[in-house]
C-alpha cells in the first residue's frame, strides 16, 4: 500500500470511528434522557426521541460508509 492510499485509509477509518462514537453516544444519552426526564414532561420525551432518531440515521449512514470502505479496501493491492 503506497503512502497516498495509507493516508486515505486513515481518513476513512477516522471518519468511521467518529460516526460509531456518535451512534453510541446518541443511543446511550437518548435512553438515559427517556428514562430520567420523559416522565416529567414532553421536552424530555422529545429530546430523547430526537437523540434516538439521530442515532438511527447515523447508524444507517455508518453502514453505507462501512460497506463502501470495505469494498475500497478489498480493491487495494
Distance, CA of 15 to CA of 9 (rounded, Å): 10
6 assigned to some structural domain? no
32 assigned to some structural domain? yes
35 assigned to some structural domain? yes
DSSP 19-58: HHHHHHHHHHHHHHHHHHHGGG-HHHHHHHHHHHHHHHHH
Looking at every residue in the chain, the average pLDDT score rounds to: 92
Q: For residue range 28-55, what is the model confidence (pLDDT) as tens digits? A: 999 999 998 877 778 888 999 999 999 9
67 assigned to some structural domain? yes
Structural domain of 70: 14-75
7 assigned to some structural domain? no
Residue 22 pLDDT grade (very low, low, confident, very high; cuts 50, 70, 90) = very high
Q: How many domains does the chain have?
A: 1
Distance, CA of 38 to CA of 10 (rounded, Å): 40
Amino acid at each position: 500500500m503506497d503512502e497516498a492510499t495509507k493516508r486515505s485509509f486513515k481518513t476513512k477509518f477516522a471518519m468511521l470511528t467518529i460516526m460509531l462514537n456518535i451512534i453510541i453516544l446518541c443511543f446511550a444519552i437518548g435512553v438515559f434522557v427517556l428514562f430520567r426526564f420523559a416522565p416529567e414532561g414532553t421536552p424530555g420525551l422529545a429530546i430523547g426521541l430526537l437523540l434516538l432518531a439521530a442515532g438511527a440515521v447515523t447508524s444507517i449512514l455508518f453502514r453505507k460508509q462501512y460497506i463502501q470502505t470495505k469494498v475500497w479496501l478489498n480493491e487495494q493491492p
